[in-house]
Amino acid sequence: MSLTTTRVGKGRARGQDTEQPTSANPQGRERWPWLPFVDLSLAAALVPGFFLGGLLATAARNGSPWLAAYPALAQAHGHAQLAGWGGAMILGVALQFLPRLRGSQLARPGWVRPLFGVFAGGLALRVAGQVLAALVLATADPAAGSARTAAAAETVGHGLSLVAVVGVAAFALGAVLEAAAGTGLVLLLGLSLRSGPPLTTKKAFAQVAPLLAIAFASFVTALIAWAAGAVATALAVATAGAASGAVGAATGGRLPVIPPAFDRLAVEIALFGFIVGISLAMSARVFSLFFRVRPANPQLVRWTGLLLGTGILAGTVAGAVHAATGVRPPVLAGAADLLWGAALWTGTAAVHVFSRRLAFPGDRGRYAWWRDPAGAGAVAAYGWATLAGLILVLRGLWEWGIPVGPASASVDAAIHATGAGFMTLLILAVAPTMLPGFGGGRLRGPAWVWASVVLGCLAATLRSAPAIAPMLGMSAAGWGAGAMALGGVTGLLAVGALTVALRRSWRGRP
């Protein structure tokens, strides 16, 4: 059967012209474009995402001999979460849903499979190559207390081991392929969204179009920044290999670590521009259908786009100056944090997630979000968005020399409140509500969704608490690493429960 769509009338959608896609069997050819991206997202979250994150925290707690590789492994973990867990999921949903919201069709659908293959391969090479090279180079360092392995002893050009050369090359090549494919997919979406009825007749799409533009422009910019940083890092590692001492004491400069200022620039653009932008845009369009709330406030949506876009501009300039000079300009950095925090607050207010639920035809007002695992997940996600906004505002005030509280918020606190809290919980809430319709099914086994949401809340709390504690005048020295390790385990279980819920739903199992 071919893909079909069912329009939700304006009366049922409370003034929106959103379309709900349906299809036959996701195991057939109709699984494109969405299902492969969802599978990639889940795989990225399960292995290099939460699993690797938990291992890193465990290594920090127990003093593992490969702790010297921590900076590179942490970058690989963060990239897998943003480009894989969040990025691939968003791309799959966007390719399926946004053309229908626009009233058009996906342009050049034949491009999707090869672009997906290059994106998935690039992501795998980028993450696996960085992990492999970092572990080999770190454990081959005599100063780290570990004898060289046989693989590390067999060096090739510049004194690097063959395995390390392969890993570093894969790291750089994967980042370039990922950036090229990600840019191609965004261009494909752009071509698809250019056609269709006049925007005056597609008010639902027009309302969120600025947020979508900010989000996908940020995604492409972040991928290009990561790729440039990976190539520069690979060249630096190769050059450092020619220095005297080979691995030896120079290991710190030999690890495949993108310069922190450069990586932070890409992470912030990807998280606050892409993830936050697309999350707020999609919430504005689907929350009134899924969670019985009023349609999004159009004025607040516009303000959110203005705040977010201005914040991305300020953050990009501040990050570029930091990467070029080593000094992060406090005026611009503080402005970016304040604007991102304000955008999270106005976006939260715009989607009415904390407002009183409406009575839909057929449910007679009996719906309650605390009895719906997806609804509870959405409320929890925006609770984290509100907290992330507070952390960013406080951090911005400290950047401007206005101290509020015992200590300034760390970058880690803002990133994980937004990523582990807002992004992850929103995926756990919306995916089991939206994706089964793509597969021609309906949600089955809500207990699995409850498990994923509860575990996701626990994971976000355990991972973010050590970074938030200093803001409250507390020390996380004795418990922080253990909490983060447990957070990795609970996050892994949360994504596992989501995977079970999704598979049961679109395969039609009882």
Provide block-wise average pLDDT over 10 residues at a time, the chain (510 residues).
33 39 47 92 95 86 76 95 97 95 92 97 97 87 40 49 91 98 97 90 93 97 96 88 41 76 95 98 93 94 98 96 94 98 98 90 79 95 98 97 91 96 97 86 86 98 96 91 93 96 70
In this structure, are residues 60 and 67 in contact, taking their beta carbons and an 8 Å threshold?
Answer: yes
Q: DSSP letter string over 376-407?
A: HHHHHHHHHHHHHHHHHHHHHHHHTT---SSS
Q: Provide the greatest CA pair distance for the chain.
A: 77
Rounded Cα distance between 302 and 99, Å, is 21
Please report, to the nearest 10 degrees, the dihedral formed by the alpha carbons of residues 153, 176, 273, 108 taken in order.
Answer: -140
In this structure, are residues 115 and 185 in contact, taking their beta carbons and an 8 Å threshold?
Answer: yes
What's 235-257 look like in SS3?
HHHHHHCCCCCCCHHHHHHHCCC
What is residue 296's three-state secondary structure?
Answer: coil
Angle at which helices 424-438 and 446-468 pack, to 10 degrees?
Answer: 160
The three-point CA angle 492-493-495 to 5° equals: 70
CA 353 and chain centroid, separation: 21
Rounded Cα distance between 431 and 443, Å, is 10
Check residue 241 and give its pLDDT.
62
Domain count across the chain = 1
In this structure, are residues 430 and 378 in contact, taking their beta carbons and an 8 Å threshold?
Answer: yes
Beta-bridge mates of residue 299: none
Give residue for tokens 């993830």. Answer: 275
The CB-side HSE value for 307 (13 A sphere, CA atoms) comes to: 22
Question: Is 330 inside a domain boundary?
Answer: no
Instruction: Provide φ and ψ at 112, rounded to 5°.
Output: -65, -45
Please report, for residues 15, 219, 309, the alpha-carbon distance to residue 214 in angstroms, rounded to integers and kept in the order given.
25, 9, 6
- Smallest CA-to-CA distance from 468 within 455, 490, 488, 483 is with 483
| Cα first-last separation, the chain | 23
What is residue 154's three-state secondary structure?
Answer: coil
Structure token pair of residue 228: 């440039």
Rounded Cα distance between 275 and 419, Å, is 8
Question: Is 84 inside a domain boundary?
Answer: yes
Run of H or E including 21: strand 19-22
- Smallest CA-to-CA distance from 86 within 284, 271, 267, 220 is with 271
Rounded Cα distance between 454 and 452, Å, is 6
In this structure, are residues 255 and 71 in contact, taking their beta carbons and an 8 Å threshold?
Answer: yes
Question: Is 289 inside a domain boundary?
Answer: no
Please report, for residues 293, 348, 358, 372, the alpha-carbon distance to residue 368 in angstroms, rounded to integers and kept in the order given.
11, 19, 10, 7
- Smallest CA-to-CA distance from 498 within 421, 426, 441, 437 is with 426
Question: Is 225 inside a domain boundary?
Answer: yes
The three-point CA angle 479-482-483 to 5° equals: 80
Check residue 366 and give its pLDDT.
80
Question: Is 11 inside a domain boundary?
Answer: no
In this structure, are residues 136 and 161 in contact, taking their beta carbons and an 8 Å threshold?
Answer: yes
Please report, to the nearest 10 degrees, the dihedral formed by the alpha carbons of residues 5, 9, 15, 16 taken in order.
Answer: 0
Question: Is 123 inside a domain boundary?
Answer: yes
Tell me the pTM. Answer: 0.89
In single-letter form, the type of residue at position 35 comes to L
Structure token pair of residue 509: 């199992």
Check residue 140 and give its pLDDT.
67
Check residue 438 and give its pLDDT.
85
Question: Is 283 inside a domain boundary?
Answer: no
CB atoms within 10 A of CB 206: 14
Rounded Cα distance between 268 and 274, Å, is 9
Query: Which residue range is the domain that position 203 belongs to?
Result: 34-258
Q: β-strands 19-22, 4-7: how paired?
A: antiparallel
Instruction: Provide φ and ψ at 182, rounded to 5°.
Output: -60, -40
Rounded Cα distance between 33 and 174, Å, is 22
Question: Is 391 inside a domain boundary?
Answer: no
Check residue 156 and give its pLDDT.
47
- Smallest CA-to-CA distance from 167 within 128, 198, 196, 202 is with 128
